[in-house]
C-alpha cells in the first residue's frame, strides 16, 4: 500500500471515529450549577444555574442549589467559554501563499487542520472559540476564520464566522528569507520586501491599488474586493505589530487612508507587546489591541518588550482589549493564566474576564453567538474549581455547543 493510500485510510478512520463519537453523544441539554456564575456582562449570579437545551443557553437563574442526575453539572464557578484571536493553531505553512507577498484573496478556512492535536489542548483549557489565520510570512496573508475548538469533523461544521478579518503583518517576519535579486534571480525568495520599509510600501501600495480599481474591471486584481472591504469598514484589518515602530506604522497607515479619503479601516493590533510605549498615539487611533502572552522576563518576539501592566494601560485608554496565549499548551502560559498576569498588573477581574470572552468576540463580530452567558447564545461554558484566573483554581469542565468536552464529575 502506498504512503498516499495509507494517509487517506488514516484520515478516513479519524473522520469515521469522530463522526461516530458525536453521533452517539447526543446529550446537549444540561443544568449547570455554579456557586458563582460570571456572565461577562457585568453580572455575577450567586448560586446560579445555567439551563442548556439543544446546545444553546436557555437562561440563568439565581438562588438555586442545582440538582443531581446525568443532566446536572456542578462547579465553584462558571464563565463563558474563552475566545482567543491569536491562537496560532491549525494553520501551518501550507496556508501561506508563497508566490506573492500580498494575497488578500487567500482563505484560511480552506486549509485549517481541525485534526491538529493542539485543538484538544485548547478546548480542555477552556478556549472554546478561536480566530485562525495563516502564519505571518506575507505582508497580507489573507482572510481569517473563527472556529470552535471542538465539535463535529470538518471546518464548515465548526465555523462560527468565515472570512472574519483580513490578516497582515508589519515587522521582520514578512521579509524573512527574502533577499534582493542582483542579475538573474537564483531562488524563490529573490524578491522584495527585504526591510520594514519595504513591508510598509507593499501594504500601502496594495490598498492604493485596490482604491484605484474601484469601479474599474481593467484595474481589478485578485483580492482587490477584500482590500476594499477593509477601506469600507465592513471587515477589520488585523495586523501583527510587536514593536512600537510597527504599531506606529499601522496607526499612521490607518490615518493616511482616512486623510486621503480612501476609507476608514477598523484596525486590530495583534501581538502589540509594546502598546504601552506611546499611549497618546494608541488612544488617538481607536484601534483594538490583542496582547501576546506575557513573558516572565518581559522579552517577546521581534526584540520587543512587554510590561506586566500593559493590559491595564490599554484598558484605561478605553480601547477594546483582548488577551492571547498564542496556542500555548503550557499550563503556566495558557489563556486563563494570561488573565491572571493581567490582574497582577492591575487589571480588574471583570475587565480580565471580558478580555478573554466578550471583548475578542466583539472585535471579530461573533458576540451574537459567543463571549457571554446570555439566553440564545451558544452553550460554550467553562467550569472552575475556584475563582477563575487564580493560581489555585483550575478548569475542571468545558462545554462547547452543549457537548461535554471535559467532564467535571469525578470518575468512579
Same domain? 221 vs 296: yes
Q: What is the CATH number of the domain that holds 191?
A: 3.20.20.140
Same domain? 57 vs 99: no
Residue percentage of the chain with pLDDT more than 70: 93
Same domain? 145 vs 178: yes
Total domain count, the chain: 2
Residue 162 domain-assigned?
yes
Rounded Cα distance between 333 and 68, Å, is 34
- What does the pLDDT look like over 259-281, one tens digit per residue? 999 999 999 999 999 999 999 99
**Which range of residues forms the domain containing residue 55?**
11-80+389-406
Same domain? 122 vs 266: yes
Same domain? 62 vs 123: no
Q: Give 133's Cβ-side CA count (13 Å radius).
A: 31
Same domain? 51 vs 93: no
Residue 376 domain-assigned?
no
Rounded Cα distance between 395 and 13, Å, is 31
Same domain? 317 vs 356: yes
Residue 285 domain-assigned?
yes
Same domain? 248 vs 190: yes
Same domain? 74 vs 86: no
Rounded Cα distance between 405 and 138, Å, is 35
- What does the pLDDT look like over 379-408, one tens digit per residue? 999 999 999 999 999 999 999 999 999 999
Residue 380 domain-assigned?
no
H or E element that contains 124: helix 118-124
- What does the pLDDT look like over 220-249, one tens digit per residue? 999 999 999 999 999 999 999 999 999 999
Q: Where are the beta strands (DSSP E) in 10-156?
A: 30-38, 44-53, 56-61, 72-80, 82-84, 127-132, 140-148
Same domain? 336 vs 360: yes
Same domain? 135 vs 215: yes
Average pLDDT over residues 138-160: 95
Rounded Cα distance between 33 and 28, Å, is 15
Q: What is the pTM of this model?
A: 0.91
Task: Look up residue 400 and give its three cell numbers.
Answer: 462547547
Residue 378 domain-assigned?
no
* pLDDT at residue 163 tops 60: yes
Q: pLDDT class for 24, splitting at 50, 70, 90?
A: very low
Same domain? 181 vs 224: yes
Residue 4 domain-assigned?
no
Amino acid at each position: 500500500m502506498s504512503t498516499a493510500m495509507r494517509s487517506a485510510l488514516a484520515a478516513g478512520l479519524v473522520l469515521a471515529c469522530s463522526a461516530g463519537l458525536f453521533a452517539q453523544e447526543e446529550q446537549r441539554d444540561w443544568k449547570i450549577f455554579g456557586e458563582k456564575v460570571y456572565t461577562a456582562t457585568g453580572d455575577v449570579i450567586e448560586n446560579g444555574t445555567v439551563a442548556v437545551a439543544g446546545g444553546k443557553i436557555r437562561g440563568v437563574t439565581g438562588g438555586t442549589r442545582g440538582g443531581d442526575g446525568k443532566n446536572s453539572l456542578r462547579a465553584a464557578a462558571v464563565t463563558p467559554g474563552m475566545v482567543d484571536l491569536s491562537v496560532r493553531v491549525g494553520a501551518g505553512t501550507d496556508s501561506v501563499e508563497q508566490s506573492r507577498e500580498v494575497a488578500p484573496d487567500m482563505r484560511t478556512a480552506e486549509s485549517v487542520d481541525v485534526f491538529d492535536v493542539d485543538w484538544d489542548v485548547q478546548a480542555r483549557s477552556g478556549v472554546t472559540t478561536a480566530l485562525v489565520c495563516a502564519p505571518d510570512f506575507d505582508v497580507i496573508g489573507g482572510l481569517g476564520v473563527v472556529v470552535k475548538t471542538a465539535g463535529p469533523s470538518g471546518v464548515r461544521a465548526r465555523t462560527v464566522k468565515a472570512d472574519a478579518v483580513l490578516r497582515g503583518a508589519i515587522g521582520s517576519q514578512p521579509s524573512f528569507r527574502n533577499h534582493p535579486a542582483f542579475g538573474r534571480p537564483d531562488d524563490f525568495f529573490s524578491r522584495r520586501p527585504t526591510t520594514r520599509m519595504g513591508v510598509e510600501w507593499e501594504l500601502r501600495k496594495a490598498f492604493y491599488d485596490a482604491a484605484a480599481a474601484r469601479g474599474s474591471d481593467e484595474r481589478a486584481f485578485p483580492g482587490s474586493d477584500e482590500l476594499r472591504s477593509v477601506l469600507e469598514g465592513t471587515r477589520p484589518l488585523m495586523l501583527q505589530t510587536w514593536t512600537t515602530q510597527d504599531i506606529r506604522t499601522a496607526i499612521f497607515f490607518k490615518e493616511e487612508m482616512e486623510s486621503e479619503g480612501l476609507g476608514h479601516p477598523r484596525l486590530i493590533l495583534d501581538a502589540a507587546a509594546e502598546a504601552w510605549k506611546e499611549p497618546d498615539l494608541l488612544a488617538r487611533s481607536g484601534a483594538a489591541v490583542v496582547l501576546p502572552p506575557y513573558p516572565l522576563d518581559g522579552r517577546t518576539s521581534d526584540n520587543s518588550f512587554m510590561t506586566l501592566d500593559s493590559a491595564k494601560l490599554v484598558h484605561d485608554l478605553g480601547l477594546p482589549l483582548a488577551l492571547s496565549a498564542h496556542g500555548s499548551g503550557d499550563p503556566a502560559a495558557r489563556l486563563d493564566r494570561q488573565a491572571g498576569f493581567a490582574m497582577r498588573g492591575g487589571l480588574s477581574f471583570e475587565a480580565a474576564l471580558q478580555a478573554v470572552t466578550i471583548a475578542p468576540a466583539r472585535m471579530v463580530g461573533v458576540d451574537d453567538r459567543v463571549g457571554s452567558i446570555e439566553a440564545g447564545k451558544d452553550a460554550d461554558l467553562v467550569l472552575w474549581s475556584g475563582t477563575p484566573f487564580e493560581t489555585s483554581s483550575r478548569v475542571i469542565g468545558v462545554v462547547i455547543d452543549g457537548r461535554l468536552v471535559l467532564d467535571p464529575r469525578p470518575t468512579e
